[in-house]
Structure 1
Amino acid sequence: MTRIVTILTPGFADWETALLNAGAREYYRVETRFASPDGEMVTSAGGLQVVPHMSVGDISVDDFDALLVNGGTVWQTPGAPDLGPLLRSAQAAGKTVGGICDGVLALARAGLLDNVRHTANGPESLPDTGYSGGNYYIGSPRAVLDRRIVTAPGTAPVSFMGAVLESLGLRNGDLDFYLGLYAAEHQAG
């Protein structure tokens, strides 16, 4: 069974991966799991309280197909968790690794964006991470998928869902329908 693990931190942006996890679980029967830095409950920006299945330290690269970093303001602080070893191991194992909004900063700090096309909330959000992938940055309002690395600005949860599911080999007419359905309000009309 395909499994996605999403990393949540205190103050996580609850809307950024909610659609992806719900759609993956409900429509595609993907197992969805959640982790927090210490395995303890986290409260989202909107007040949603989540009791995760595990701590970041308990995540084994052999136990998932996609590892996602949900955005939140913690990624802009010196106290942000160091996910570098885990993210690099996941990439080396050929797993999908994704970040949305400020979660992209964790991928940049890990060096995952140095040689792949990627996007973020804006190019100005990445230089302080020590990354050297400026030549690969794409200013896109939608998610970018390159070699199983998925990045998206915080305003793109629908295309993030699509890119992650596509990276897992789940792109089909149903996914195209769901993407159209959830993005319908953004169509010119």
Structure 2
Amino acid sequence: MNSNSTVYLYVFDTMADWEVGYLTAELNSGRYFRKGLERAKVITVGMEKTPVTTMGGLKIIPDVIVHECNITSIDALILPGGNTWTEAVHGPILKMAEMCLKEEIVVGAICGATLGLAQAGLLNSRWHTSNDLDYLKMVCPSYTGEEYYNRQLAVTDGTLITASGVAPLEFTSHVLKRLDVFSDRTLDAWYHLNKTHEPKYFYELMSSIQ
């Protein structure tokens, strides 16, 4: 990841806002980034520049629309879960995800967004996970990537990161690791602090960024 990086966050009606909460907070604040790295620029991307309403009831006005995005200038595309990923409206962002993967740009998809990737054929030859394999096969009849399905909370294959909807912490950890914005020691302490809630990891985290 560059010292001045850009991450596109796809926003849409019914978006599961909590699934990317850890990730956007750390990217935007840069509070635990490696020395010399500036915080990332998080840009929201929508189908239109009209407010969307998340599953949590928050209203977000997208910064840009999909067609205004230049993938050569970004470091990651993040796709949150939501209730509408099998609908045609997400076609343009899935096409952008395909372009990003071809250009070896990080694509992170969690929960329902993995259904969109599966339906677009982007999981047929890459290691991945989702909420449940049987459900994935039922909802996406064209999906043929069962042999690449990994029953883990989060999976990284090259620049593709997928995660179950119950694993926003693991999803964030995988994305941060792939972007290489935290030191290994910082990431380990950060993850274990949030996972176990044990105070000792807070002190390890603070020590790691000194």
RMSD of the alignment, in Å? Answer: 1.7
Residue of structure 2 equivalent to 1:14: 17
Corresponding position of 1:150: 161
| Shift in Å, 1:180 | 1.3
Percent identity (aligned)? 29
Q: Which amino acid aligns with 1:90?
A: C
Work out the CA distance in 2 between the residues paired with 1:6 and 1:96: 12
Is the Cα contact below 8 Å between 2:48 and 2:62 reproduced in 1? no
Take 1:85 and 1:46, find their aligned partners in 2: how far apart are those partners? 27
Counterpart Cα distance in 1 of 2:135 and 2:9: 22
| 130, 147, 169: which one aligns with 1:135 | 147
Kept in 2: contact 1:99–1:106 (CA 8 A): no
**Distance apart, 1:149 and its partner CA:** 0.5
Give the whole-Å Cα distance in 1 for the aligned partners of 2:117 and 2:154: 14
Structure 2 regions of 5+ residues with no counterpart? 34-38, 199-210
What SS does the corresponding residue of 2:193 show, helix, strand or coil?
Answer: helix
Aligned partners of 1:159 and 1:119: how far apart in 2?
12
Which of 144, 167, 176 is equivalent to 2:188?
A: 176
Secondary structure class of the residue paired with 1:160? helix
Listed one character per residue, the Cα deviations across residues 133-175 of structure 1 (whole Å, up to 9, x for unaligned) are: 11010122x2111111000011111111111111112342112
Instruction: Name the structure 2 match of 1:3.
Output: 6
TM-score by length of 2: 0.82
The answer to whether 1:35 aligns with 2:35 is no
**Offset at residue 126 of structure 1 (A):** 2.2
Structure with higher Rg: it is 2
The residue that corresponds to 1:24 in the other structure is 27
Q: Which amino acid aligns with 2:170?
A: S
> Where does structure 1 lack aligned partners over 5 or more consecutive residues?
none
Q: What is the total number of aligned residue pairs between the two structures? A: 184
Indicate conservation of the 8 Å contact 2:16/2:54, yes or no: yes
Normalising to structure 1: TM-score of the pair? 0.90
- CA distance in 2 between counterparts of 1:171 and 1:185 reads 20
